[in-house]
Chains A and B, each alone.
Chain A
């Protein structure tokens, strides 16, 4: 049984993109460079191996990047660099990197491309795009665009959304954390930030902070003097390190939370003064919870956590001085996820852990001014359709699964013919890959901006090589709320090969597209026609903001300088350029021992701020749409996989970030492949031993990988890490290693935020 078609002969024609190291036993290839004993000037940069953006210093010797080191000035990353951050060098020097613009010459997906110049690539895009937009009568939303990288996302949206005029932007939010953001926003009016360091009693469920590192949370947890309770259907590293680990059935955290609320209300453990002051519809909540009898015994039945423990932990939690129920991050696991996150927020609120030390804080982030641009108005551009049937949904990033479904079923109000993809591996990152493939096949033009020949890149018509984060300067960014700071990614090296920064790529595209697209609009857009009549073409073009590359008149360092100097002063600018970071206490940081620092003095941190807000127990809009207005348990949430089948759950290794690091040489050394975690006793019955190959089959597809029988997972649950099973042969280190979870996860999504629910798929396991 092969999971990957290896028969496809793939090569990027005419390009040297596939320079595979000749690995013979004669000489092992050298990938690491020893640093020298010379002193050199270190360049401050921000990591981009995952979403955290830790700060670091890069050591460059003779034009070669030899080492990345942590940056002690950044409050967020606490002077550390994780394994991925350290392995960033291998991302820069990955021999499989995309090096030149490429245009597809074979069938979509067969991997045959020809090397072209940037101008040829832009010309090609222009020709196709003009034809399509003309056909679509200037409906700019026929161009969908998506982005998976945090940095530069807003600029990317400015280009395709504000300037080019498309409504269809998609990002990772709907396959990641939108329910959590939404639940917090809707319940307490702000997304807030969790003060892990300040908490003395913390419950984590559905998050694995020691393997999926989030700074500063993960670091703070290690050092905080707190009791840590972890709920997880798998004994993760976080569970191992917890003071108390409560194994439970997948998707039943909500039962635990409801029971906590029940006990708190019943035993009146909650912070009465706080509730009185801030809660809206508290009586409704009280009545609802008590009426439904979410007792500890009830929750034990649902979750498998003993009633005694639930009661004890609830009491301990509410007795603690700074309790925190950790809200998680990558969070959409089950259909009840939105209400689960709401329940968590409500628990924090009942304990009064909002806007105070050790709770969900609002803080005081630095607000950076936006750079101003003129946005043209397109009368014929239609609105987005992927939020149809979704109660709230993110207006910004939409709902991927709903979008995809509507495109492939052709139920969208208009056809989407073009997709621009930037650093978003959609062929691996959302459930049911087969459907994504189908969607891409239906497009007339797919353009991918990326650094690696990912599975998605190999589905593109045009591949534009973006440089890595180490080869570019980015706009200054504001981080965090409790100890706010500014950080700036400086350029470490000039872009390698023919790769370019996103700004330069968009600038090139903008120059090519602006005028011809303007011509099309003037053909269909009556308002524009009027304007031209009034002002003449040039003026209408200029004042209407039709120059797509407007933002890129100046280069990034000029823009940065301008922005920082208008809002702050020279010192801030110098600090950002030389230290990569600025915060008000940067000159007086205190070393707390072993190079851990105190950034803001305790009394200067924004634990509590003046802010008007309410805790909303009852969401009327949800009631209106026929959903639960308050967290409620339904029988369909019960964990009941069919006999002999398993619930498949997913997660991550500490050494990988989704599929982005999958080809990294160094990280491959640490964890080469993923394996199927299966309960040891169950495995024994099925005669599955460690290293055996098993086939995992769901209703959508099947994958093959090696088994890892262990007592660290529940009998009816199996787990394997996300980030493996690449099918692009161009990824020479990753190809053929492990299996991809999204191959078999069913594409279900909840209807409140349109988020993919990752833990709702049952599978069968058979030994090969």
Chain B
């Protein structure tokens, strides 16, 4: 019983893709550039001409399922295949998924994709059926990240590192105006 979330010290990211590769290997994600549970988004561009380049707008954002508390995908599934597990993670009963793709259509973050191997929709589940299932307390992306910018932990536990850091530092969530209440936080 936990309420898992993640916080990103996103300005540290060097866009190295270690997280993405680690995730793919851990969770057996299909190869192919379009199949991924997580990705890094290049926010902002360099501007101006080369000798007077403004590069400070360039940021890299860690993108994956936001583990919405009010999850549009969960609500949109006609078969009740999407549920919230004991750890607060939005999960999928694989044998209930009929691939209507209503969830993909409904997710505001483009987090879901079709898992070709298992023929269901898939998304980041914080390594719930691999690492967490065997009692580990880290996700594949968190532990491998050279910048160690990904904080993963229990939001309900006041003493957890993530709770502490969220208390100490300013942060924001993505598309919060939609009322999805994401559990992924970006640290300022």
* Chain A residues proximal to chain B, CB less than 8 Å: 28-39, 66-70, 78-83, 85-87, 89, 210-211, 213, 218-219, 222-223, 235, 237, 239-241, 245, 247, 304, 593-596, 654-655, 665-667, 669-670, 672, 679, 681, 710-715
Which A-B residue pairs are the 6 nearest by beta carbons?
A34-B28, A37-B133, A86-B21, A80-B146, A210-B14, A83-B17
Question: Does A86 contact B14, Cβ atoms closer than 8 Å?
Answer: no
- Would A32 and B29 be within 8 Å (CB), given that A37-B133, A679-B50 are in contact? yes
Known: A237-B14, A655-B17, A669-B33. Is A245-B55 also a contact (CB below 8 A)?
yes
C-alpha spacing A78/B147, complex, angstroms:
10
Q: Which of A30, A669, A679, A714 touches B117 (beta carbons < 8 Å)?
A: A30
- Bound-state CA distance A83–B25 (Å) is 11
Residues of chain B within 8 A (CB-CB) of A245 are 53, 55
In the assembled complex, which residues on chain B have CB atoms less than 8 Å from the CB atom of A711?
A: 46-50, 53
Question: Looking across the interface, which residue of chain B has its beta carbon closest to that of A243?
Answer: B56
Q: Hey, which chain A residues are within 8 Å of B173, CB to CB?
A: none
Contact of B58 among A82, A223, A240 (CB under 8 A): A240
Can you give 9 contacting A-B residue pairs, CB < 8 Å? A32-B31, A70-B143, A223-B147, A593-B161, A595-B143, A655-B16, A672-B33, A711-B47, A712-B50
The answer to whether A247 touches B50 (Cβ under 8 A) is yes
| Chain B contact residues, majority secondary structure | loop
Q: How far is the CA of A469 from the CA of B3 in the complex (A)?
A: 40
Measured in the bound complex, the distance between the Cα atoms of B48 and A247 in whole Å is 13
Chain A nearest CB: distance from B25 CB in Å?
Answer: 6
Q: Distance (Å) between the CB of B91 and the closest chain A CB?
A: 14
- Interface centre among A29, A86, A239, A672, by most chain B C-beta atoms within 10 angstroms, is A86
From 18 to 40 in chain B, residues with beta carbon under 8 angstroms from any chain A beta carbon are 18, 20-22, 24-33
Q: In the complex the two chains form, is A32's CB within 8 Å of B16's CB? A: no
- The docked-state distance in angstroms from the alpha carbon of A213 to that of B15 is 12
CA distance in complex: A715, B49 (Å): 9
Q: Contact size class for B?
A: 35 or more
Contact assessment for B28 and A33 in the assembled complex, using a CB-CB cutoff below 8 Å: yes
Determine which of A66, A69, A681, A713 lies in contact with B144 in the assembled complex, contact meaning CB atoms within 8 Å: A69
Residues of B within 8 A of A672 (CB): 33
Q: Given A86-B22, A247-B53, A594-B148, does the pair A37, B16 have CB atoms closer than 8 Å? A: no
Q: Residues of A contacting B29 with CB < 8 Å?
A: 32
- The answer, yes or no, to whether B138 is at the interface (CB within 8 Å) is yes
Q: How far is the CB of B133 from chain A (nearest CB, A)?
A: 4
Partner of A669, one of B31, B46, B138: B31
Q: A304-B51, A654-B14, A666-B21 are in contact. Are A213 and B146 (CB under 8 A)?
A: yes
User: Do residues B130 and A34 form an inter-chain contact, with CB atoms below 8 A?
Assistant: yes
A80→B143 CA distance, assembly (Å): 7
Max count, chain A CB within 10 A of own CB: residue among B22, B30, B133? B22
In the complex, whether B12 has a CB less than 8 A from a CB of chain A is yes
Q: Is B151 an interface residue when CB atoms closer than 8 A count as contact?
A: yes
* Cβ-neighbour of A83 out of B16, B33, B46, B135 (below 8 A): B16
Taking the closest CB of chain B, its distance from the CB of A33, in whole angstroms, is 5
Q: How far is the CA of A219 from the CA of B161 in the complex (A)?
A: 21
Q: Are the CB atoms of A85 and B18 closer together than 8 Å? A: yes
Residue in chain A with minimal CB distance to B117: A30
| A89 neighbours in B (Cβ, 8 Å) | 25
Distance between Cα atoms of A247 and B26 in the complex (Å): 40
Nearest CB of B to A237, in Å:
6
Q: State A223–B27 Cα separation when bound (angstroms).
A: 29
Residues of A within 8 A of B144 (CB): 69-70, 80-82, 85-86
- Sample of 16 more A-B contacts, CB < 8 Å, known A33-B28, A235-B53, A710-B46: A34-B27, A36-B134, A78-B146, A80-B144, A81-B22, A82-B144, A83-B18, A240-B55, A593-B161, A594-B150, A654-B17, A655-B16, A666-B21, A669-B33, A711-B47, A711-B49
